[in-house]
Amino acid sequence: MHRTIIIVIFFLGIVMIYWNCTNTKGHYSSEGEVLSKKYCTSCHAYPSPSLLNKQTWANHVLPAMGAFADLFKDKDGTYRKLTPEMAAQYRNPLFAHVRASIPTADWEKVVDFYLENAPDSLISPAVPITADSKQFDTSLPIKKSKAYTGLVYYDEKSKLLFQSNFKDSTLRIYDSSLQVKDSLIHCKGVVDVEPLNAVNTKGRTSFLVTHIGSFQPTVQKNGFVEQVDIQGGKIIHRKTLCDSVYRPVQSAMVDMDSDEKKDIVVCEFGYMSGQLSLFKNTGNGHYQKQTISTTAGAEKMYIEDINGDGLPDIWVLFAHDIEGVFQFINKGGGKFEQKQVLSFPPCYGSTYFELKDIDHDGQKEIIYTCGDNADYSQILKPYHGVYIFKKNAQGQFKQVYFFHVNGCYKAVSADFNQDGKPDLAVISFFADYEHQPQEGFLWLINQGGYKYKAFTDPAVTNKGRWICMDVKDMNGDHKPDIILGNMAAKPGKNRTLMLQWMNGPEILVLKSK
């Protein structure tokens, strides 16, 4: 009898210990979730554990994020605070604004929450891609340098093609037959060219040219914006308008305050900090800088009158800090009202967006791409690709389409098959080069009802690593042509592929048949 009671008590004790352990673990995990939402939203949108696999969280993302709280992952896997001596050595005062103070015990709970709830692996959807060699004819200009293109832009009015090369610091200017007309030398990485006016009777036109300063992340503010005047394909004058700009990636000249003087709006992508800036024209060729937003990662903008009040407003895609699409409503007097339209987690890696009325209902949709994979989580992600968001009756943009493309960098709308429906040209800079290299360049034919069929040209697949693209009518046949820019950066450990790209063209032109 006593023996039976002892056995029962023993097993009850085991059950209680197990229950207590699992209950504590569940509480610990729940507390970790609360803490993660407290700390992990101070700099960016909340990232769910499901967005990355366990290994990536454990070995890359969490250690990198912990460093912003002066926590480092020791060899035994535990996190420890930096000593004052270590902090003095490793801290960069320019990053102070993105640092967070997190107690070590709290951080350990956050880490445990992510590792307990993250999947072992991510599963990407299978996407059918049809080979088609009949849609385009390919043209190659004479190669002038190693393939390190940072920009391609074709101006239909002047019939000039611009191509920047980061290797030799030039901006080359071609005519529509791909003959070099002139070159802008001593550039600092030209990433954007915008026309300022129409071609006059003497064949002269002007362009706003943006130099990023440093392609690699840096804290140096050595970018600048200049005006370049061209006549007959030749550069006749250049003038710096804005200097000491923090890694600018796009500029636009427009009268923002109705004073009949053109101001300059600049996307200063930056690094850990950045901003959307307005350089107000004060006359006599001088500009006074004003900050519209201190959010880093301003990547792409469109300027239009959003609310119909006669003042130009700004659409902006931010790809750092709080990733998403924003509107800045011009209230006059240099004041803007900010509204977030779309929000994305930091691991999405936003790369581009476009405004286009796809279904011809009079309302513009948002075409959005994500796929920048150069940060802490360099794995294939099933949510990278092309998205379309449509505005509903409540004024909110909701997703109506997604097409998976690993490492997607840009999607541009154009009617390639001349059926009246806008299709999409798509490039990827971080494609799955091992299993599906054809992702590097695709076009999606609009089937109607937000359904698309994907095509690729096998002749294009291995010719380059496409980082930039423009879609314009280059030969005047009223059909869209595609210009691709090749930046032969190393894709992981695949040196063979990198050398193949390096020996490939700087740019490739695909002319619609």
pLDDT category at 90 given cuts 50, 70, 90 is low
- pLDDT for the residue numbered 94: 58
User: Region 484-500: what's the mean pLDDT?
Assistant: 83
Asked if residue 201 has pLDDT above 80, the reply is: no
pTM over 0.85: yes
> 478: which 2 tokens?
């009223």
Write 157-162 long-range contacts (CB < 8 A, 24+).
157/195, 157/198, 157/199, 157/205, 158/195, 158/199, 158/205, 158/230, 160/230, 160/233, 161/474, 161/483, 162/190, 162/193, 162/207
Asked if residue 93 has pLDDT above 70, the reply is: no
> 44: which 2 tokens?
């960016």
Exposed/middle/buried for 442, CB within 10 Å: 0-12, 13-18, 19+? buried
- pLDDT for the residue numbered 500: 87
Q: Mean pLDDT across the chain, nearest whole number?
A: 90
Coil, strand or helix: which one is 349? Answer: coil
Contact 455, 414 (CB under 8 A): no
Question: Which residues have a Cβ under 8 Å from the Cβ of 423 and sit 6 or more positions away?
Answer: 413, 414, 415, 416, 417, 443, 444, 445, 446, 452
pLDDT tens digits, residue range 242-254?
999 999 999 999 9
> For residue 453, how many other CB atoms are within 10 A of its CB?
13
Asked if residue 89 has pLDDT above 60, the reply is: no
Instruction: State which of 85-94, 100-109, 266-275 shows the largest mean pLDDT.
Output: 266-275
- pLDDT for the residue numbered 62: 92
**Hunting for tokens 């076009």 — which residue is that?**
443
- pLDDT for the residue numbered 87: 64
Cα angle for residues 229, 231, 236 (degrees, 5° grid): 50
- pLDDT for the residue numbered 10: 36
- pLDDT for the residue numbered 267: 99
Asked if residue 9 has pLDDT above 60, the reply is: no
Distance CA 426, CA 440 (A): 8
User: Region 483-510: what's the mean pLDDT?
Assistant: 87
Asked if residue 28 has pLDDT above 50, the reply is: no
Domains within the chain, CATH numbers bracketed: 2-117 (no CATH), 129-512 (2.130.10.130)
pLDDT category at 116 given cuts 50, 70, 90 is very high
Residue 169 DSSP code:
T
259 compared with 23, residue with greater pLDDT = 259
- pLDDT for the residue numbered 11: 41
- pLDDT for the residue numbered 497: 83
Asked if residue 325 has pLDDT above 80, the reply is: yes
Asked if residue 27 has pLDDT above 70, the reply is: no
- pLDDT for the residue numbered 197: 85
> 267: which 2 tokens?
């996307």
Distance CA 405, CA 23 (A): 41
Q: Which of 409, 484, 423 is nearest to 453 (CA)?
A: 423
User: Region 138-167: what's the mean pLDDT?
Assistant: 93
- pLDDT for the residue numbered 18: 37
- pLDDT for the residue numbered 490: 73
Asked if residue 21 has pLDDT above 50, the reply is: no
- pLDDT for the residue numbered 245: 98
User: Region 168-190: what's the mean pLDDT?
Assistant: 95
Distance CA 469, CA 161 (A): 12
Question: Could you tell me if residue 22 is left (phi over 0), alpha (psi between -120 and 50 degrees) or otherwise beta?
Answer: alpha
**Size of the chain in residues:** 513
The DSSP result for 459-476, as a single string, is HHHTT--EEEEEEE-SSS
- pLDDT for the residue numbered 95: 61
The DSSP result for 80-111, as a single string, is EEPPHHHHHHH--GGGGGG-----HHHHHHHH
pLDDT category at 4 given cuts 50, 70, 90 is very low
Question: Which residues have a Cβ under 8 Å from the Cβ of 215 and sit 6 or more positions away?
Answer: 150, 166, 189
pLDDT category at 55 given cuts 50, 70, 90 is very high
- pLDDT for the residue numbered 26: 46
